[in-house]
Chain A
Amino acid sequence: MADYLLTPADEFTHQPGDERHFNESVYTNAFDHERRFGGWIRLGNRANEAYAELAVCLFLPDGRMACQFLRPSIANNDQFDAGGMSYRVERAHECVVMRYVGEVMLVEDRDWLRQPKLMFERAPRAHCELEWRHTGCSPIYGGAPTRPEQQTMFGRDFSLGHFNQHTAVSSRLRIGDENYDFDGYGWRDHSWGPRLWQNILFDRGFYVSFGPDRGFTLLKIANQDGVVRRAGVLFVDGCYETITDLDVFTAWDEHKDPTAITLTARSASHSAVIHGRVLNCAPLSNRRQIGDVVMNSRIAEAFTEFEWDGRRGYGMTEYVERLHDGVPVAWPL
């Protein structure tokens, strides 16, 4: 991929830029395709702001969610290790392990997530021990752009460097007295550079695995200029195929959260018609004051079952978008 440079050293933390909102983050998701559950965890170092964003979002088999959102203090960007969450690269480009040991909130009604204050006050707590061992089953996609004019996947004001990979996952997961161990599939990414969530005007991201040989990373995104771009890969027979086109159709619930998705994607070798059904959705949000302006974004994180050529896959549908007068700017598309 001549547009990006990626070295094994990029698996580790980078020297932060001077930007106050420099972010370096790792994200992994993992799903049990038999029992249809799983989730994602993320640690985003904001060393220049002296804290990390820590997020745990697990969709349990009984429909509950187990969540945590913390901002533990950090003193530097030397490692991913804060608030009970850690990330270790065992073999660059091949195997990483992400852990979380700490408290989670058990969310029976997802609408609690729309009112974080109430959720933190009322949600029952449980102890969580999670370890996800991700072994790559795809190439790595992305890296740092090699040219100043090179478009990056999420836009340079959201992440300068970014790479991702489909994985097989060995999961050890205990919540309270319940054991949720599984072997499944997932996806991981690693980003670095200045980031404000509000620099995304809107996006529709789909990070999904169908097994060791198939999946997709699909993104339709508009940054502040409103220009819509399409990016991503189809993962077919173990190889990544960069997409040349993507269309997205969404069905919505009364809260304007996605309930079903139809995707059509084209690469040089394949045309894919993919249908998705949201199994559970975490309606998250982000609020940021920049100068005198307070900007809010919704971040709908939807655990989704997809069907593609008769195969079933599982993963995350992520709709990030600014709110104007409380309404997502890109809805209903």
Chain B
Amino acid sequence: MQAQDFRLTPNDEFNHTPSADSNFNESVYVNGFDPQQRSGGWMRIGNRVNEGYAEAQVCLYLPDGRLAVQFQRPDISHNNAFAAGGLSYTVHEPYRHVSMRYQGDLLVLDDPDMLRDARRLFAEAPRTAGLVEFDLTAVSPMHGGEPTRDDQETMYGRDFSFGHFNQHTRTVGRMDIGGEVFSFDSFGWRDHSWGPRFWTNINFYRLFIANFGADRGLMLLKITGRDGVTRRCGVLQFDGDYEDITDLDVYTEWTARKDPKAIRLGVRTAKRAVQLEGEVIQMAPLSNRRKIGEQILSSRIAEGLTMWTWGDRTGIGVTEYIELLEDGQPVGYPL
């Protein structure tokens, strides 16, 4: 993935005209994590205007191990803004400064495994009022955009997102959860995608996003399509610059529930070869279910708060394993 392979303009920070695809998605995602409190979270709005709703998601990892989450499908009638279900997203300065805010109910979970049973989650989880504000300013270049050629491979594949860009950030966060306030001034990451998307178009992938301070981070993806072909892409952020990776090896240790619990990475760029070790300290075991024609496809979406070591640096971020389930089993496991 080279810069000339993608086109990006300041206008891409805002909403795009939807295509005719019924599953057109335009989404923004932000995260921020505090390595001292080992907490933080992510929020996402995905407009599915041609289906008349948005996916609105909040997933917060609290210092004491609880999760505070919300998942909604609020109605939307246009794709002119990112504002639905209590979530809103503002571009203050393209490429430099954005913010995301959520005001509304949060489900507070002592037991993250409640996320494995959505019906039970919404029926039984305690609720409280939440106000979450993440303010993100750039600490890295932008990465990605719209492909410039018809044959240009896109990061997640064209059936998951056509245009896509992302950036490491300084993230200042404030999470008010029923009067308990958690604040941090740390680092994070954001992305913005547009194009047709079914979550279940991903056969399986392993995605790693982390910050190691203002000048260092990673965004690494190993993805396998239904054709069995595996691709590796992403960047290391080093001394503030992005270096496209030329190779990536991933080794995962698993829990009894087949969620990732520890990760080893070997990463190569044109300039360096590095080894990293990650420990998942809190898991949000999410899922997605979609009926396509007569077929029901289910995917697991494991979202793990992860502490990383990269040489003498400690980092924090999110590990995301998405994969189809066949007979209830994740198709990429145990690799």
Write the residues of chain A forming the contact surface with B, with a CB cutoff of 8 angstroms: 222, 226-228, 244-245, 247-249, 262, 264, 266, 268, 271, 273, 330-333
Q: How far is the CA of A331 from the CA of B267 in the complex (A)?
A: 11
When the two chains form their complex, are residues B334 and A271 in contact, meaning their CB atoms are under 8 A apart? yes
- B27 interfacial by beta-carbon distance below 8 Å: no
A247-B335 contact given A332-B273, A333-B273, CB 8 Å threshold: yes
When the two chains form their complex, are residues A245 and B224 in contact, meaning their CB atoms are under 8 A apart? yes
- B152 interfacial by beta-carbon distance below 8 Å: no
A273-B268 contact given A330-B273, A332-B275, A333-B275, CB 8 Å threshold: no
- 1/0 per residue, CB under 8 A from A, across B253-279: the answer is 000000000001011101001010000
When the two chains form their complex, are residues A244 and B335 in contact, meaning their CB atoms are under 8 A apart? no
Which residues does chain A contribute within 8 Å of B122, judged by CB atoms? none
What residue of chain A has the Cβ atom nearest to residue B230's Cβ?
A245
Q: How far is the CA of A72 from the CA of B229 in the complex (A)?
A: 45
When the two chains form their complex, are residues B249 and A273 in contact, meaning their CB atoms are under 8 A apart? no
User: Nearest chain B CB to A204's CB is how many angstroms away?
Assistant: 10
When the two chains form their complex, are residues A247 and B224 in contact, meaning their CB atoms are under 8 A apart? no
User: Nearest chain B CB to A309's CB is how many angstroms away?
Assistant: 11
User: Nearest chain B CB to A8's CB is how many angstroms away?
Assistant: 32
- B281 interfacial by beta-carbon distance below 8 Å: no
When the two chains form their complex, are residues B264 and A249 in contact, meaning their CB atoms are under 8 A apart? yes
Which residues does chain A contribute within 8 Å of B250, judged by CB atoms? 247, 264
Which residues does chain A contribute within 8 Å of B267, judged by CB atoms? 333
- 1/0 per residue, CB under 8 A from A, across B83-113: the answer is 0000000000000000000000000000000
Instruction: Give the residue of A226, A249, A266 whose beta carbon is less than 8 angstroms from that of B249.
Output: A249
Q: How far is the CA of A298 from the CA of B273 in the complex (A)?
A: 18
- 1/0 per residue, CB under 8 A from A, across B211-226: the answer is 0000000000000100
User: Nearest chain A CB to B255's CB is how many angstroms away?
Assistant: 15
Interface of A is mostly: strand
- B246 interfacial by beta-carbon distance below 8 Å: yes
Which residues does chain A contribute within 8 Å of B334, judged by CB atoms? 271, 273
Q: How far is the CA of A11 from the CA of B335 in the complex (A)?
A: 37
What residue of chain B has the Cβ atom nearest to residue A228's Cβ?
B247
Instruction: Give the residue of A245, A247, A333 whose beta carbon is less than 8 angstroms from that of B268.
Output: A333
Q: How far is the CA of A249 from the CA of B262 in the complex (A)?
A: 14
When the two chains form their complex, are residues A271 and B335 in contact, meaning their CB atoms are under 8 A apart? yes
Question: Mind listing 20 A-B residue pairs with CB under 8 Å?
Answer: A226-B246, A228-B268, A244-B224, A244-B228, A245-B224, A245-B335, A247-B249, A247-B335, A249-B249, A249-B266, A262-B264, A266-B335, A268-B228, A271-B334, A271-B335, A273-B334, A273-B335, A330-B273, A331-B273, A332-B275
Q: How far is the CA of A222 from the CA of B268 in the complex (A)?
A: 12
User: Nearest chain A CB to B319's CB is how many angstroms away?
Assistant: 16
Which residues does chain B contribute within 8 Å of A228, judged by CB atoms? 246-247, 268
User: Nearest chain A CB to B12's CB is how many angstroms away?
Assistant: 30
Within B218-248, the residues touching A (CB, 8 Å) are: 224, 228-230, 246-247
User: Nearest chain A CB to B83's CB is how many angstroms away?
Assistant: 41
User: Nearest chain A CB to B169's CB is how many angstroms away?
Assistant: 28
Q: Residue among A227, A245, A264, A332 with the most chain B CB within 10 A?
A: A245
User: Nearest chain A CB to B193's CB is how many angstroms away?
Assistant: 25
A-B contact count (CB 8 A): 50
User: Nearest chain A CB to B228's CB is how many angstroms away?
Assistant: 5
User: Nearest chain B CB to A251's CB is how many angstroms away?
Assistant: 10
Which residues does chain B contribute within 8 Å of A249, judged by CB atoms? 249, 251, 264, 266
Which residues does chain B contribute within 8 Å of A247, judged by CB atoms? 249-251, 266, 335
Q: How far is the CA of A333 from the CA of B245 in the complex (A)?
A: 13
What residue of chain A has the Cβ atom nearest to residue B249's Cβ?
A247
Instruction: Give the residue of A244, A264, A331 whose beta carbon is less than 8 angstroms from that of B229.
Output: A244
What residue of chain B has the Cβ atom nearest to residue A245's Cβ?
B230
Q: How far is the CA of A247 from the CA of B266 in the complex (A)?
A: 9
When the two chains form their complex, are residues B273 and A262 in contact, meaning their CB atoms are under 8 A apart? no
Q: How far is the CA of A69 from the CA of B318 in the complex (A)?
A: 52
Q: How far is the CA of A260 from the CA of B270 in the complex (A)?
A: 26
Which residues does chain A contribute within 8 Å of B333, judged by CB atoms? 271
When the two chains form their complex, are residues A264 and B230 in contact, meaning their CB atoms are under 8 A apart? no
What residue of chain B has the Cβ atom nearest to residue A271's Cβ?
B335
Which residues does chain A contribute within 8 Å of B273, judged by CB atoms? 330-333
Q: How far is the CA of A331 from the CA of B335 in the complex (A)?
A: 23
Nearest 7 Cβ contacts at the A-B interface? A247-B249, A228-B247, A333-B266, A245-B230, A333-B273, A264-B335, A244-B228
User: Nearest chain B CB to A236's CB is how many angstroms away?
Assistant: 16
- 1/0 per residue, CB under 8 A from A, across B323-335: the answer is 0000000000111
Q: Residue among B229, B266, B334, B335 with the most chain A CB within 10 A?
A: B335
User: Nearest chain B CB to A124's CB is how many angstroms away?
Assistant: 40
Which residues does chain B contribute within 8 Å of A271, judged by CB atoms? 333-335
When the two chains form their complex, are residues A264 and B251 in contact, meaning their CB atoms are under 8 A apart? yes
Extra contacts besides A228-B268, A244-B228, A244-B230 (19): CB < 8 Å: A226-B270, A244-B224, A245-B230, A245-B335, A247-B249, A247-B251, A248-B249, A249-B249, A249-B251, A262-B251, A266-B230, A268-B228, A271-B333, A271-B334, A331-B273, A332-B273, A333-B266, A333-B268, A333-B275
Which residues does chain A contribute within 8 Å of B247, judged by CB atoms? 222, 228, 333
What residue of chain A has the Cβ atom nearest to residue B264's Cβ?
A249
Which residues does chain B contribute within 8 Å of A227, judged by CB atoms? 246
Q: How far is the CA of A316 from the CA of B278 in the complex (A)?
A: 30
Which residues does chain B contribute within 8 Å of A332, judged by CB atoms? 273, 275
Which residues does chain A contribute within 8 Å of B268, judged by CB atoms? 228, 330, 333
User: Nearest chain B CB to A270's CB is how many angstroms away?
Assistant: 10
Q: How far is the CA of A264 from the CA of B246 in the complex (A)?
A: 19
Which residues does chain B contribute within 8 Å of A330, judged by CB atoms? 268, 273
What residue of chain A has the Cβ atom nearest to residue B224's Cβ?
A245
Instruction: Give the residue of B224, B249, B251, B270 whose beta carbon is less than 8 angstroms from that of A333.
Output: B249
Which residues does chain B contribute within 8 Å of A244, judged by CB atoms? 224, 228-230
Q: How far is the CA of A244 from the CA of B227 in the complex (A)?
A: 10
Which residues does chain A contribute within 8 Å of B335, judged by CB atoms? 245, 247, 264, 266, 271, 273
